[in-house]
A and B are shown apart, each in its own frame.
Chain A
């Protein structure tokens, strides 16, 4: 029981930045903007957050710095990709490489230096309950932040007018525009908001989950996992967060398995999420394919085993990510 609770706590901890980054990308993609720069944004804002926290001595100002850095990168994407209409996948990818190198270059002087971090919060009352206390009673603030962010994003998307307009803009830009929704402005807005979330994810790494800064930082590749999680979660915050925990579980299991199977290198476990990412996407896409639907008609058991397929991409993205190359 204790091991189980400790594992759950570790999953919540490792999954918090992934959840933040994936939520940001969900907002952005819901509005019809694919921001491929997440991986670079996470690293750049991890650096920016750590440097800000060191300069001010306050980790929370550092979090703010991370969010601003993330929104800034998204701003560059918005200017070149949305305003100048350069191909947005290309711009996002270039920004990923650029931000990663920029983070290493600008952060060089701060590498392996001591700096503030967010520490651990103890929730009075909750921390004393046997099982829940271990899981959620004593955690890094970024864990609570990620949980609040999920609830807020879910509520915003499905229960508010602004969320409805956002979904409309991403689902069917032309129809939304015809109804008087300023589609382009919303795209820019949620691109920036998504960037700020990715920035918080970076800050959550350098100030919480992997405190400190260096080359490499240890958050490399997380942004790419976050991009896959968005598809995994079918662009719905609740499922997206489950995806983040699923991938965090793989990482945590890797650490546990290392003790059981010392012959396998730790680096091998670091790459484990990526093959899993490919297999998950494959599984999801096969369930959505016409051939699978035909098979379910003949063998209903298959459909019951596979469950309900998650929702597809927002209309504006469907052509890009869900393409059919048959």
Chain B
């Protein structure tokens, strides 16, 4: 709006604003501010065990944020990532429950299970994409509705066809056999394979978006749908491709949650990673370089928040409050200063 100021001042003012609001929230909740912040950040950083816990959230979060880069590049408001994670988890668990997946070598079975997860997530995303492209249902509503529908599918499976022998409980399905679990790290379920997959997916997506004709076409579709149609870029297909890629990666995250972390299908397996990833991507104004940083920061908050109920009798939702406040502060600071780089070309 006014004379541009250096980006660093914006970042600092955003951080200061976020800190001030967080302290105010702690004050209203009657919590000791410094101790609370120490528990929150210490719980995600202060030991190898904490760091591994942080990484087990970082992997799905980073994958989902990467996935979102694809749909944001197409100008799509995909808030259906939660459901896409869930369907990925369902497909992976379903594959490993096939009558005899043991006839495959375990490594092959795991790879196929993750491929099934990718397909499951892509399917759910394409459903939302088709509703948008052919049915003109805005993707916010289809995505959200499909999130709830995915929860319904998991609950039905866990309490119905896939219930544990003799009892149906919300604790989840029968645990996977040892052979079908992704190897953990130092005995903790933070899988190296998952991390490698997430980083590879990130590099691939950034390359696709920044260095290929496909990425350029997506950008054209985002910036002007009508013009893109007139010059023959077939926006329908591009939008569906972006949705499919995003859903596939989110589904992969779901598959990793099943094979690498929970080792079974549980009711809310998507664990809010889909929504948190939206915040992580928005916070850095869709600048891919910073996505790993914001995801790691949010993962620290998520891991630390688990300590809050035990250590201070506070609700663990504080991490979500801090995330939301930070993203809002960055949006506001960005508009006051450098601006321009945000998602808002259309609103």
Contact = CB atoms under 8 A, between A and B. Distances in A.
B275 A326 contact: no
Interface residues of A, number: 55
B141 A277 contact: yes
The 5 closest A-B pairs by CB, nearest first: A98-B324, A101-B320, A87-B344, A101-B317, A108-B315
Contacts of B235: 325
Contacts of A322: 136
A202 to B, nearest CB: 17
Contacts of A89: 77, 140, 347
Contact of A80 (B25, B137, B328): B328
B79 interface: yes
Given A105-B318, A268-B155, A282-B131, A94 B327 contact: yes
Given A105-B318, A106-B28, A94 B324 contact: yes
Interface string B150-165: 0110011001000000
B95 to A, nearest CB: 24
A94 B282 contact: yes
Contacts of B320: 97-98, 100-101, 105
B-side binding surface: helix, strand, loop or mixed? Answer: helix
Contacts of B315: 104-105, 107-108, 215
A106 B30 CA distance: 9
Interface string A285-326: 110110000000000000000000000000000011111111
Nearest to A101: B320
B135 A285 contact: yes
B229 interface: yes
Nearest to A83: B335
Contacts of B145: 274-275, 277-278
Contact of A97 (B77, B144, B229, B279): B279
B346 A320 contact: yes
Contacts of B313: 108
B68 to A, nearest CB: 12
A27 to B, nearest CB: 19
B321 A91 contact: no
A323 to B, nearest CB: 7
B136 A105 contact: no
B135 A286 contact: yes
Interface string B16-48: 000000000100111000000000000000000
A108 B312 CA distance: 12
A281 interface: yes
A71 interface: no
Contacts of B141: 224, 227-228, 231, 277-278, 281
B219 interface: no
B328 A94 contact: yes
Interface in A262-289: 265, 267-268, 271, 274-275, 277-278, 281-282, 285-286, 288-289
B324 to A, nearest CB: 3
A90 B278 CA distance: 9
Interface string B118-148: 0000000000000111011110111011111
A108 B315 CA distance: 6
A210 to B, nearest CB: 18
Contacts of A104: 315, 317
A88 B132 CA distance: 20
A-side binding surface: helix, strand, loop or mixed? Answer: helix
Contacts of A106: 25, 28-29
Given A105-B315, A108-B314, A274-B149, A86 B131 contact: no
A214 to B, nearest CB: 11
A105 B29 contact: yes
B306 interface: no
B112 interface: no
A93 B144 CA distance: 12
A93 B79 contact: yes
A271 B282 contact: no
Given A80-B332, A90-B347, A105-B314, 19 more contacts: A86-B331, A89-B77, A89-B347, A98-B320, A98-B323, A101-B318, A101-B319, A101-B320, A104-B317, A108-B313, A265-B159, A267-B151, A271-B148, A274-B148, A275-B148, A278-B146, A285-B135, A289-B136, A325-B136
Interface in B47-95: 77, 79
Contact of A105 (B77, B151, B317, B335): B317
Nearest to A231: B141
Nearest to B31: A105
B334 interface: yes
B311 interface: no
Contacts of B318: 101, 105
A86 B332 contact: yes
A325 B151 CA distance: 28
Interface string A210-250: 00000100000100100110010000000000000000000
Contacts of B321: 98, 101-102, 105
A76 interface: yes
A93 B275 CA distance: 10
Contacts of B342: 86-87, 90
B335 A85 contact: yes
29 contacts: A76-B328, A84-B336, A85-B335, A86-B334, A90-B282, A93-B79, A94-B279, A97-B323, A101-B319, A101-B321, A105-B29, A106-B28, A108-B29, A221-B148, A265-B155, A267-B151, A268-B152, A274-B148, A275-B145, A277-B145, A278-B145, A282-B135, A285-B135, A286-B135, A288-B136, A289-B136, A320-B346, A325-B133, A325-B225
